[in-house]
Chain A
Amino acid sequence: DVKVTQSSRYLVKRTGEKVFLECVQDMDHENMFWYRQDPGLGLRLIYFSYDVKMKEKGDIPEGYSVSREKKERFSLILESASTNQTSMYLCASTTTGGNEQFFGPGTRLTVL
């Protein structure tokens, strides 16, 4: 059974903290994505990666960075968390040319 896992389902952090969200996929997919999901706004792409150590900005990269040191793992980093980064964060992966994005269960982050 293919799987995308995320390190935490719920996370509470304080303003200014550095936050790491981890995502791991076991399907040997080349491409990995980080989205945030907010009510009424749908999914917005933060960053994506098409290979190890490669990254591209999505639609809303400000305040975020990413790291992909291994093919199976894609990390989202909030350098200094702010309250407007309170959101649901979804990781996804897909193979190049593949038709389906496989999503993790999401991390609900609250920044106080």
Chain B
Amino acid sequence: GEDVEQSLFLSVREGDSSVINCTYTDSSSTYLYWYKQEPGAGLQLLTYIFSNMDMKQDQRLTVLLNKKDKHLSLRIADTQTGDSAIYFCAERSGGSYIPTFGRGTSLIVHP
């Protein structure tokens, strides 16, 4: 079945850039997502990208997609302590409305 892999932890210094990586196996993935989960809360969609795009930028967030390698990354510029959260990568094929989630990457931002 489909699989989405991401590393479990990332620690960065405040003001640095953070890069969270994700790989997926489903070649029919059409939509790729990044969700953010703050402590004690549900998930919230940060951004998504269609599989026919290479890059999407939204303020401090940059999503890069390498479809050949099935690799997705989320770059957060000028990381702040408020960015500390769990970040989930997810993919969905066009024929399904059910996404497959990765296990989540805990981003820790220290001063």
* Chain A residues within CB distance 8 Å of chain B: 4, 31, 33, 40-43, 45, 48, 50, 90, 92, 94, 96-101, 103-106
Contacts and interface: CB of A to CB of B under 8 A. Distances in A.
A91 to B, nearest CB: 8
Interface of B is mostly: loop
Interface string B17-52: 000000000000001000000001111110010000
A94 B48 CA distance: 15
Interface string B36-70: 00001111110010000000000000000000000
A103 B44 CA distance: 7
Contact of A101 (B8, B43, B102, B103): B43
A46 B9 CA distance: 25
5 A-B pairs with the lowest CB-CB distances in the bound complex, closest first? A103-B42, A42-B103, A103-B43, A43-B101, A100-B45
B42 to A, nearest CB: 3
B104 A101 contact: no
B102 A42 contact: yes
A24 B104 CA distance: 25
Contacts of B45: 100-101
B45 to A, nearest CB: 5
Given A4-B42, A42-B103, A96 B98 contact: no
A103 B88 CA distance: 13
Contacts of B8: 40
B97 A45 contact: no
Contact of B97 (A43, A98, A105): A98
Given A40-B103, A99-B31, A106 B97 contact: no
A90 B42 CA distance: 7
B98 A43 contact: no
A90 B37 CA distance: 11
A45 B42 contact: no
A106 B38 CA distance: 12
A90 B8 CA distance: 20
